[in-house]
A and B are shown apart, each in its own frame.
Chain A
Amino acid sequence: MSSFKQKLLNAPYAFWSFVFVAIPLLMVVYYTFTDKGGAFTFENLKILLDKKYISVFAYSIWYAFLATVICLVIAYPLSYIISKMKSVFQDTLMVLIMLPMWINLLIVTFSWKEILSNNGIINSLFEAIGIGKVEMLGTSFAVVLGMVYCFLPFMILPILSSMQKLDKSLIEASEDLGATKINVIKRVIVPLTLPGVISGITMVFVPSISTFYISQKLGNGMIILIGDLIERQFSVSANYNVGAAISLVMMILILISVAVMNRFADDNDKGGA
């Protein structure tokens, strides 16, 4: 009876994921392998081997990678410092970190667009102190900056929570046993917070590689990433098949990278144990 009840409780979720996850995925696969008339074809995937598409994929991965690394470099030490603070400060800082997440992503991106524009405050400041205008919008710098700003909280929060859960006595024990500061970090703190790092990386990398709004607004229409390409296929070219093919390839890319990272985390767990 209880298992029946469980099934009953699961039913809405199962229904939901069938309708809104499974069916759309199947549709993506269907469109990928059919042409406009509905006949089976590999043509949509073959098109993607074109040099211009490969370079879009390469750039998207590269920018997402850069954004992830920068987020990690900022987030890890920051989380460590926060986790060492008194809990009152910790709570305040948590709120400050989450604050940008409460503002709609589109508004955040649009604000950055204004800030970075040729007449924006940064360039006005540069002009006032005699450096002259530096064109920032439409450069890869602006796009990566936008990604870092928008997704940084997703890196900090999981790392911070794993830092907070870290058993302080383990650090004390290793220090008592004569480990140097570097060794404590390298052999105790880092391995124990790795799960947080891995989920942080995933949570930054995945939205970065699939974003199209950030690159469209901060890239001035001059920087085109996978997300833009997919959007173009559906909204402008009305080519659902190629659009689906690109989506499928992107999903596979994301799956691979997540799998690689999980593998990395598993290996490390075993090594630690």
Chain B
Amino acid sequence: MKKIISIILSAVIAFSLTACGSTSNSNSDYEANYKNKLKNTELNVFNWGEYIAEGEDGGMNVIKEFEKVTGIKVNYNTFDSNESMYAKLNSGTAYDILIPSDYMIERLINEKKLQKLDFSKLTNYKYISDDYKNLYFDKKNEYSVPYNVGMVGLIYDKTKVNPAPDSWSVMWDKKYKGQILTFNNSRDAFAIAQFLLGIDINSTNKKDWDKAAKKLKEQNPLLQARVMDEVFGKMESGEATIAPYYAGDYYTMLDTNENLGFVYPKEGTNIFVDSICIPKNAQNVDAAHLFINFLLEPKVALENAEYLCYASPNTAVVSNDEYSFKDDEILYPSKDKKPKTEYYHDIDSKTRDYFEKLWEEVILN
């Protein structure tokens, strides 16, 4: 019996050696950095859906690559909104890695649910652009490492929307009744009305939220649907003609429907930074640091940036000549073309409850 096992083992080793030698030779530049004693431990990752390179079209499957290089088993789970992530986290589930957005990180820090990162272990942190350091939600850069940057814009069907829109007001245009989509989450939907009305998206004044809610109710009869990721199918097939969504996703849709156009509305729009953090109740902190560092590897970050089509905060990616979105005008607008942007901030629970209540009124209208 022992003999058989040893034969199998040596076969496996021999095979994996040759596999390394032939296919992933090019990755050996970082592989050595991930030798560790954490083999066979588990890492629980909680990330947005469709938010990591999955190895399509011969690309790298980041999770599998990490498992291969480190021998750590990754349990990968996804969420579809910051709020549902928060609800899951609050129910007591322990994760080692979270990748929420800015304002949610602010809330998690305020509620002391995150732990400080050990930057001495994050040797690749040097690649993060200074533009994305010391951001408002983590002023001293203690808890988070930027993963992706994005902005909300307006996606429209060039053949059906004339003239080309430059304002959020097109989402209230009766001409496009039944063809308009909007976000199926309170914060993003409210923000559009707030930008249009010139109201601060982080207002704590109830009257401001009332006004925005009224505006949203006016939009109800014109809407075809409230969507999140269903926007892809609807815009790609031409079922709907106007939708607000994230800039990177526009390129994904453009692959299937070349009639689509994109604009940052003149009133301003939301910018977000999704960052990697480690919650306080993490079970495998060392592996989590290893994972963060791995995501920052120029090669891995490039794979992610190509796959996700979001703007990368990683300078090694942005300056790479092989990067297909290098100097792209939508993802990396030049200084004079930069849209007006605002971050969401964590809003006090009283205002939050208030606008959630208003939101229910809007959608149950």
Contacts and interface: CB of A to CB of B under 8 A. Distances in A.
Q: A and B bound?
A: yes
Contacts of A2: none
Contacts of A138: 224-225
B185 interface: yes
Interface stretch (A64-72, A75-83, A200-208, A216-224): A216-224
Interface residues of B, number: 24
A262 to B, nearest CB: 33
B225 A237 contact: no
Nearest to B220: A222
B226 A237 contact: no
- What does DSSP make chain A's interface, helix, strand, loop or mixed? loop
Interface string B218-245: 0000011111000000000111000000
A146 B239 CA distance: 20
Given A117-B237, A117-B239, A119-B239, A236 B83 contact: yes
Contacts of B361: 52
A31 to B, nearest CB: 12
Most chain B C-beta atoms within 10 Å of own C-beta, residue among A117, A138, A222, A234: A222
Given A52-B360, A52-B364, A118 B239 contact: yes
A143 interface: no
Contacts of B365: 52
Contact of B84 (A52, A224, A235): A235
A135 B179 CA distance: 10
Contact of B178 (A119, A135, A232, A236): A135
A158 to B, nearest CB: 35
Interface string B58-97: 0000000000000000000000010110110010000000
A238 B90 contact: yes
B354 to A, nearest CB: 12
Interface in B186-223: 186, 223
A137 interface: yes
B224 A220 contact: yes
A56 interface: yes
Given A221-B184, A224-B364, A235 B226 contact: no
Report the interface size class on chain A: 20 to 34
B130 interface: no
B357 to A, nearest CB: 9
B327 interface: no
Interface centre among B225, B227, B239, B364 (most CB of A within 10 A): B364
A10 interface: no
B227 A221 contact: yes
Contacts of B239: 117-119
A237 B356 CA distance: 8
A183 interface: no
Contact of B238 (A119, A234, A237): A119
Given A56-B364, A236-B185, A222 B226 contact: yes
B185 to A, nearest CB: 7
B363 interface: yes
Nearest to B177: A135
Given A119-B237, A119-B239, A135-B178, A222 B225 contact: yes
Nearest to B356: A237
Contacts of B83: 235-238
A234 B224 contact: no
A52 B217 CA distance: 14
A130 to B, nearest CB: 20
16 contacts: A56-B364, A119-B237, A135-B178, A135-B224, A137-B224, A137-B225, A138-B225, A221-B184, A224-B363, A235-B84, A235-B87, A236-B83, A236-B87, A238-B86, A238-B87, A238-B90
Given A118-B239, A220-B226, A234-B87, 8 more contacts: A117-B237, A119-B238, A138-B225, A220-B227, A222-B226, A224-B364, A235-B83, A237-B83
Nearest 4 CB-CB pairings of A with B: A220-B225, A221-B226, A238-B87, A52-B364
